[in-house]
Amino acid sequence: MRRWLSVVLLATLSFGGCKRRSSVRIAIMTTADLQSYIIPHNAVIDGETLKVGGLERIASAAEQVREEVDGALLLSSGDDLLGPLFSLFHGEPEMRGMTLAGYDIVTPGNHEFDNGVEVYKTSLGFAGFDVVSANLIIDDKELADRIRPYVIKEVAGVRIGIFGMMTPELLRISNPSGGGVDVNQDIVSVAKSIVDELKDRGCDIIIGLTHIGAKLDRKLAQEVKGIDIIVGGHDHKYVYDKVGNTIIVQDGAKGEYLGVLRFIFQNSEIVNPEWQRVLLDSTVGYDPEIQRLMGDYMKKYNDRLGEVIGESEVDLDARKDIVRSRESNIGNLIADSWLDWFKDAEIALVNGGSIRGDRIYPAGPITYLTVNEILPFRNEVVEVKVNGSDLKQVLEVSASALRIGNDGCPDSCRAPTGGFLQIGGLKITIDTTQPPFCAVYSGKEIKEIINPGSRIVDVKVYKDGIWTPLDSSTIYTIVINGWLAEGGDGHYIFSDDNIEKEFTTVITTDILVNYIQQNTPISPRVEGRINFNPYPEK
């Protein structure tokens, strides 16, 4: 049986200046953050591992919806292109598959620009749908001709205006190299201007197709009158909300569900809107043409994963006992790649447990497969802001991952070995003769701190070109992965709701691939970031 998640909003939304027309049934279908998941993949849904998603199922489910209503639109709120598939094929499989699946309108997300403006422009050559973004500032004429601020569609006799919106954080979290692209961060002013124009052009319904996240979606709904529906993306959430007269929806990520907003348009009003998330499991059927085409691309993709992306002049040490106990050149490489991407961050912290492979990778060619083996979890990078005092405590938790005989703390009361941090932007000294951090944990939370720890005896931060002592009151911008941001590996401090966090949607694996491609040949070295006094026994 097909699984449905539905919410019914028993309210009537109205807007003025429109001509009365007969009752029609309309469906607005949505996907968000497809992330190049073009074929079905395994996902845990309600505790059960299922094979879900894929453009072949999106197409089938969308066609079923179209048959049940008088008119429909299939929309994407961006980040459809990501990772090695995008790097290798420059968006061709995703764009061709989405075109065959019947997408009507798409707004680009930040990841569309991860490989630069020219690559995204190439991808649009395979797209047979409209692309909209009102706050992108585009000097490149070819791209500007392809991406319009809005489009107007006639759906079952109803005139619907759809405008796009890009995250104001584009230049910070993506890589639109090649120039010609900027972003207007005043999304409210842009939206007001576009809504006024769409009203002047006689639109019955106005939809904001956004890649700005749910928080900014609500801000738009609160401050811009006249937006009837916001179809959002960017933060991978499930959202069904009403702010004023605006319905806001977002359907998660990776094409696991098809979002369907159904309503009746009658007498210039949206009547009885109903939001459904259709689980894209095997019960929805599939489009055989898309299945064959995407299957062909995936065969080529698997063959090309062995393609060389760069070269290392030194051996890369990813041995488990090294990355979880002392400075490693692979840990330095990963941390440096994050700081190179997020230039506003001062410090990078990489938990040793996220680094896999458990071997030395000999100097020589590096492939996509190498990077995927070293960083298999594809964690999101998160920016956090913490003061120096809390950072010192984070480093004490990290040092507690080192097991020294008879140090007085049970294994269950400290960080696991994977919680040892590889670092960038820091130099620290650890004295393993001192007591470790020790606490009573309840899941990822702390019930009681037995000993705050005193192993960290020196910390210096690389700031403005010099090494300066850690200041307990200074606020530092730190990049970590999503696992640590949830308090994983014993790092409870990051799970505090009072800590400022920015989920970037940028993936660790993709950052490392980009860094190697841009800086090859690489030669990361152990350079005294993590020091011991005295040096511990191996």
The pLDDT value recorded for residue 224 is 98
Say which amino acid occupies 423: I
- List, in order, residues 6 or more apart from 485 with CB less than 8 Å away: 382, 384, 494, 495, 501, 503
- With CA atoms as reference, report the closest residue to 329 among 348, 315, 349: 315
Specify if 537 maps to a domain: no
Say which amino acid occupies 126: F
Domain-ending residue, one of 277, 302, 327: 302
User: Residue 389 corresponds to which tokens in the numbers above?
Assistant: 């005092």
In DSSP terms, 28 is beta-bridged to 73, 261
Q: Are residues 204 and 331 in the same domain?
A: no
Residue 149 has pLDDT above 50, yes or no: yes
The pLDDT value recorded for residue 179 is 73
pLDDT tens per residue, range 218-267: 999 999 999 999 999 998 999 999 999 999 999 999 999 999 999 999 99
Q: Are residues 285 and 319 in the same domain?
A: no
Instruction: State which residues form the domain around 384.
Output: 308-532
Q: Are residues 295 and 328 in the same domain?
A: no
pLDDT tens per residue, range 298-343: 999 999 999 999 999 999 999 999 999 999 999 999 999 999 999 9
Specify if 179 maps to a domain: yes
- DSSP-assigned letters across all residues of 119-134: HHHHHHTT--SEEE-S
Contact 423, 335 (CB under 8 A): yes
Contact 96, 293 (CB under 8 A): yes
The pLDDT value recorded for residue 443 is 85
- Band (538; pLDDT cuts 50, 70, 90): very low
Domain-ending residue, one of 246, 267, 302: 302
Q: Are residues 294 and 347 in the same domain?
A: no
Strands 426-430 and 530-532: parallel
First to last CA, the chain: 56
CATH number of residue 238's parent domain: 3.60.21.10
The radius of gyration computed from the CA coordinates of the chain, to the nearest angstrom, equals: 25
How far apart are alpha carbons 510 and 29 in whole angstroms?
29
Q: Are residues 151 and 105 in the same domain?
A: yes
Q: Assign 3-class secondary structure to 408-466.
A: CCCHHHCCCHHHCEEEECEEEEECCCCCCCEEEEECCEEEEEEECCCCEEEEEEEECCE
Specify if 52 maps to a domain: yes
Strands 364-367 and 308-312: antiparallel
Residue 378 has pLDDT above 60, yes or no: yes
Mean pLDDT is lowest, of 15-19, 128-132, 477-481, for: 15-19
pLDDT tens per residue, range 406-454: 999 999 999 999 999 999 999 999 999 999 999 999 888 999 999 999 9
Q: Are residues 336 and 236 in the same domain?
A: no
How far apart are alpha carbons 205 and 305 in whole angstroms?
45
The pLDDT value recorded for residue 490 is 95
Contact 361, 449 (CB under 8 A): no
pLDDT tens per residue, range 69-84: 999 999 999 999 998 9
The pLDDT value recorded for residue 537 is 63
Give 7 or 131, the one with higher predicted confidence: 131
Cis peptide bond N-terminal to 536, omega within 30: no
Q: Are residues 280 and 316 in the same domain?
A: no
Q: Are residues 274 and 336 in the same domain?
A: no
Q: Are residues 523 and 419 in the same domain?
A: yes
- State the chain's mean pLDDT as an integer: 93
User: Residue 498 corresponds to which tokens in the numbers above?
Assistant: 């009072």
pLDDT tens per residue, range 40-59: 999 999 999 999 999 999 99
Query: Average pLDDT in the 264-286 region?
Result: 96
The pLDDT value recorded for residue 180 is 84
Query: Average pLDDT in the 157-167 region?
Result: 97
Residue 355 has pLDDT above 80, yes or no: yes
Chain length of the chain: 538
Reduced to 3 states (helix: H, G, I; strand: E, B; else coil), residue 480 is strand
Specify if 177 maps to a domain: yes
How far apart are alpha carbons 148 and 169 in whole angstroms?
20
Q: Are residues 287 and 313 in the same domain?
A: no
Cis peptide bond N-terminal to 534, omega within 30: yes
Portion of the chain with pLDDT greater than 90, in percent: 89
Specify if 412 maps to a domain: yes
CATH number of residue 502's parent domain: 3.90.780.10
Q: Are residues 93 and 138 in the same domain?
A: yes
How far apart are alpha carbons 426 and 476 in whole angstroms?
11
Specify if 496 maps to a domain: yes
Specify if 293 maps to a domain: yes
Domain-ending residue, one of 302, 321, 350: 302
Q: Are residues 446 and 432 in the same domain?
A: yes
Residue 19 has pLDDT above 70, yes or no: no
Mean pLDDT is lowest, of 79-83, 120-124, 179-183, 489-493, for: 179-183
The structural domain count of the chain equals: 2
Specify if 538 maps to a domain: no
How far apart are alpha carbons 2 and 279 in whole angstroms?
7
Distances (CA, A) of 258 to 18, 101, 241, 250: 30, 12, 17, 10
